[in-house]
Amino acid sequence: MFNRDLWSEIFHSIKSNKLRTFLTGFSVAWGIFILVLLLASVDGMKNGFTKQFNDDATNSIFIYPGTTTKPYGGFEAGRRIQFDNEDIEYIEKSFPGYYEYITPRFTKSVTARVGNETGTYSARAVNPDHQQIERTVINNGRYINENDIKNTLKVAVIGKVISDELFKDQDPVGNNIILNDLSYKVIGVFSDDGNEREERNMYVPVTTFQRLYGNTNKIDQIALTYNPEFNFAEAINFSDNLEVILKRRLVIDPDDQGALYMNNYAEGFSDVSNFTTMLSVISIAIGMLILIAGIVGIGNILVFIIKERTKEIGVRKALGARPYDVIKLVLLESVFITSVSGMIGLFFAMGLVALISPIVDAPAFSNPSVDTVTVITSTIVLIVAGVLAGLIPAIKAAKVKPIVALRAD
Amino acid sequence: MIEIKDLHKSYHMGSNSLHVLKGINFSVKEGELVAIMGSSGSGKSTLLNILGMLDNLDEGEYLLDGVPIKNLSETKAANYRNKFLGFIFQSFNLINYKTAWENVALPLYYQGVNRKVRKEKAVKYLESVGLGPWVDHLPSELSGGQKQRVAIARALAAEPKVMLADEPTGALDSKTSHEVMDLIQKINDQGNTILVVTHEEDIAHMCKRIVHLKDGVIVEDSVINQVRVSPHVQ
């Protein structure tokens, strides 16, 4: 199959039939070129959409307790679910590596006073991890740290609005603020772009509030972020597992929809994800159609080639060419042309994509690129299908009686 | 060398059947130069095609150098053609994108001879037909007579047992026809068996034996006094 003589025969016939070679090659190269550009465009659109929709996306999951709606495990329906610190520890122990940050949340409305200024705000008792989950930006001072938690210090990180309303022009950091008649030290001020309501909140160490208000270990909500390397399915899977395990721990019917609310941000983006999946499906479908067009083109040209070469085939057979020799000659030539021109189309398209990719970064179209595996697979499919398309005429040609082939003009 | 007994061949076109060869009995010994003559439709080309294994026979027996030729697979027929037969066609049938020597070397390629030996042999045979300086020329750069000489060299290259020529001079003027026949006579002088199909009397008389075909049967088979071309060719 790979002897030098056969290849020199093939090169010879390629060299002596430039137009034919060009026509076949061009249809293959063009098909691959278009396919790669199509895939790259879809990829660019996908990137654009993902970027736009997921811009302020987080990988957070919020868990809110509710009221049971089904009797389960000896409890009647209508039981209020209450989280406590051990639930958090349990999650931490059960899912190492699955979560990135985790914090309890305990919200309380407080009356704050600085000097003569007073106001009512909501205070969130949290862990230091909360900063990453909420992406709180500290303007001044610092956020709650482990030391504050350990020593149940009366410290507070206040929103910019609170700072403006109570401290006026004064720098609040280091000064005291009276919350529900207890004095706290302000350790930081945060701001939240585009969300002024958020700036009416303040953060205090969770342990401090738990000690001061009822000396409990109860918490209102659990907030966590899943491992950022998770894809959509893994994220959903993780939150499903989390729900199952928490329901088991808190003795809740697995089918009870009201007892726990899992708010997984990943789910919110499933629409975007569905959209891009749809886009991929469409692109693959169109790619297939283009491939079919390419295959038909190759098949066409091969039929033409073989028709044109009937007489030559007859001469070769008269001189002792076996049917196998004829098929080999015709097919290897077309395989060679299709592969080489397929590669040429591939490199041109990939070169173009590589050239354009860094430049294009519009909101809806960003960094188009192609999956090498997809491209190589489609090239191989194109070649194989081209060969199959050529095989039938080649076999037919090999079967023609030399006398008939010789008579052909 | 060739032995044919009661050979029949008919062609079917739709519902019509054309009985072309109606019982041919015929044999050729080694070293003969036989002309097969007949008007068009007499079946002479059909006979040659069957002899050349380019076409199958319907009935009868065909022995080529003692080997029965019947119901061969394509592959086997190809091997026999390659080993036993050399063809010379009216329209030369050279492959137009191959040079003279590559055309001549083609049967050797199918014999599996390596490239170097192929070229040596091809050049040798081209020189023997007087085309030494044209070895690297394409068929399009050669005259009709030269093309036919390339085809003869090609038929010789495989060192066949029998050479079959179908109207070898049909596309040539009389001068080049005579040159070609001179070449064929010389090849025959070296002991090669050659069958020539022709409808031209003068060409037929340059052979040693004439077989007349008419309506699918042999009507006359006679050994003649060969007319040598050499004195006429300058």
Do A252 and A211 reside in the same domain of the chain? Answer: yes
Question: Pick from A222, A250, A268: which residue ends a domain?
Answer: A268
Question: Pick from A212, A245, A268: which residue ends a domain?
Answer: A268
What CA–CA distance (Å, rounded) separates B221 from B26? 9
pLDDT reported for residue B3:
92
> Residue B160: closest CA among chain A residues belongs to which residue?
A319
Measured between CA atoms, how close is A315 to chain B, in angstroms? 6
Q: Is residue B116 part of a domain?
A: no
Q: Which of A305, A313, A319 to mutate to test the interface with B (most CBs of B within 10 A)?
A: A319
Strand partners, B212: B37, B220
Query: What's the complex ipTM?
Result: 0.89
Q: Is residue B37 part of a domain?
A: yes
What CA–CA distance (Å, rounded) separates A82 from A72? 16
Q: Is residue B141 part of a domain?
A: no
Do A275 and A382 reside in the same domain of the chain? Answer: yes
| Interchain CB distance below 8 Å, B81 and A9 | no
pLDDT reported for residue A278:
82
Inform me whether the C-beta atom of residue B164 falls under 8 Å from chain A C-beta atoms.
Answer: no
Q: Is residue B110 part of a domain?
A: no
Contacts of B87 in chain A (CB under 8 A): 318-319
Inform me whether the C-beta atom of residue B119 falls under 8 Å from chain A C-beta atoms.
Answer: no
Contacts of B94 in chain A (CB under 8 A): 315
B169 token code pair: 């001079």
Q: Can you give the CATH number for the domain in which B207 is found?
A: 3.40.50.300
Inform me whether the C-beta atom of residue B81 falls under 8 Å from chain A C-beta atoms.
Answer: yes
pLDDT reported for residue A1:
47
| Interchain CB distance below 8 Å, B75 and A324 | yes
Do A70 and A133 reside in the same domain of the chain? Answer: yes
Contacts of A324 in chain B (CB under 8 A): 75
Q: Is residue B104 part of a domain?
A: no
SS (H, E, C) A220-235: CEEEEEECCCCCHHHH
* Domain around A14: 4-53+271-407
Do A158 and A39 reside in the same domain of the chain? Answer: no
Closest CA to B35 of B147, B167, B183: B167
Inform me whether the C-beta atom of residue B79 falls under 8 Å from chain A C-beta atoms.
Answer: yes
Measured between CA atoms, how close is A326 to chain B, in angstroms? 11
pLDDT reported for residue B234:
45
Do A343 and A311 reside in the same domain of the chain? Answer: yes
> Is residue A233 exposed (0-12), middle (13-18) or buried (19+ Cβ within 10 Å)?
exposed
Do A214 and A78 reside in the same domain of the chain? Answer: yes
Classified as helix, coil or strand, B162 is strand
pLDDT reported for residue A55:
42
pLDDT reported for residue B196:
93
Contacts of B114 in chain A (CB under 8 A): 5
Inform me whether the C-beta atom of residue B140 falls under 8 Å from chain A C-beta atoms.
Answer: no
Do A142 and A97 reside in the same domain of the chain? Answer: yes
Do A222 and A317 reside in the same domain of the chain? Answer: no
pLDDT reported for residue A193:
63
Contacts of A321 in chain B (CB under 8 A): 78, 110
Do A44 and A70 reside in the same domain of the chain? Answer: no
Do A168 and A197 reside in the same domain of the chain? Answer: yes
CA A134 → CA A56, A103, A125, A152, distances in Å? 11, 11, 13, 22
Inform me whether the C-beta atom of residue B49 falls under 8 Å from chain A C-beta atoms.
Answer: yes
For the entire predicted model, the pTM comes to 0.62
| Interchain CB distance below 8 Å, B78 and A321 | yes
Establish, for the pair of chains A and B, how many residue pairs have beta carbons separated by less than 8 Å.
71
Inform me whether the C-beta atom of residue B233 falls under 8 Å from chain A C-beta atoms.
Answer: no
> Residue B92: closest CA among chain A residues belongs to which residue?
A315
| Interchain CB distance below 8 Å, A318 and B93 | yes
Q: What is the pLDDT of residues B13-59, one digit of tens each?
A: 888 888 888 989 989 999 999 999 988 888 888 888 888 888 888 88
Q: Is residue B133 part of a domain?
A: no
Contacts of A15 in chain B (CB under 8 A): 97
Strand partners, B62: B4
CA A103 → CA A99, A143, A185, A230, A273, distances in Å? 11, 14, 22, 20, 28
Q: What is the pLDDT of residues B97-114, one digit of tens each?
A: 888 999 999 999 888 888
* The total number of structural domains that make up chain B: 1
Residues of chain A with pLDDT under 50: 1, 55-57
Q: Is residue B185 part of a domain?
A: yes
* Number of Cβ atoms within 10 Å of the Cβ of A145: 15
Do A392 and A286 reside in the same domain of the chain? Answer: yes
A197 CB contacts (<8 Å, ≥6 apart)?
A: none
φ, ψ of residue A4 in degrees (nearest 5): -65, -35
Nearest to B98 among A4, A12, A17 (CB): A12
| Interchain CB distance below 8 Å, A315 and B95 | yes
Contacts of B164 in chain A (CB under 8 A): none
Contacts of A401 in chain B (CB under 8 A): 54-56
Question: Pick from A232, A253, A268: which residue ends a domain?
Answer: A268
> Residue A402: closest CA among chain B residues belongs to which residue?
B54
What CA–CA distance (Å, rounded) separates A258 from A238? 20
Nearest to B81 among A318, A323, A406 (CB): A318
CA B165 → CA B101, B102, B151, B152, B159, distances in Å? 20, 21, 10, 9, 15
Residues of chain B with pLDDT under 70: 231-234
Nearest to A320 among B56, B110, B115 (CB): B110
* Domain around B226: 2-95+160-232
Measured between CA atoms, how close is B199 to chain A, in angstroms? 19
* The total number of structural domains that make up chain A: 2
* Number of Cβ atoms within 10 Å of the Cβ of A252: 25
Do A255 and A361 reside in the same domain of the chain? Answer: no
| Interchain CB distance below 8 Å, B74 and A399 | yes
Q: How many Cα atoms within 13 Å fall on the side-chain side of residue A118?
A: 8
Measured between CA atoms, how close is A49 to chain B, in angstroms? 56
| Interchain CB distance below 8 Å, B54 and A402 | yes
User: Can you list the positions of beta strands (E) in A250-357?
Assistant: 260-264
pLDDT reported for residue A56:
43
Nearest to A401 among B54, B102, B106 (CB): B54
Burial string for A10-46 (b: 16+ CB within 10 Å, else e) reads bebbbeebeebbebbbbbbbbbbbbbbbbbbebbbbb
Q: Is residue B88 part of a domain?
A: yes
CA angle A174, A177, A181 (to 5 degrees): 145
Inform me whether the C-beta atom of residue B74 falls under 8 Å from chain A C-beta atoms.
Answer: yes
Inform me whether the C-beta atom of residue B87 falls under 8 Å from chain A C-beta atoms.
Answer: yes
Contacts of A4 in chain B (CB under 8 A): 115
**Contact by Cβ (8 Å): B217, B41:** no
**Contact by Cβ (8 Å): A105, A84:** no
| Interchain CB distance below 8 Å, A403 and B49 | yes
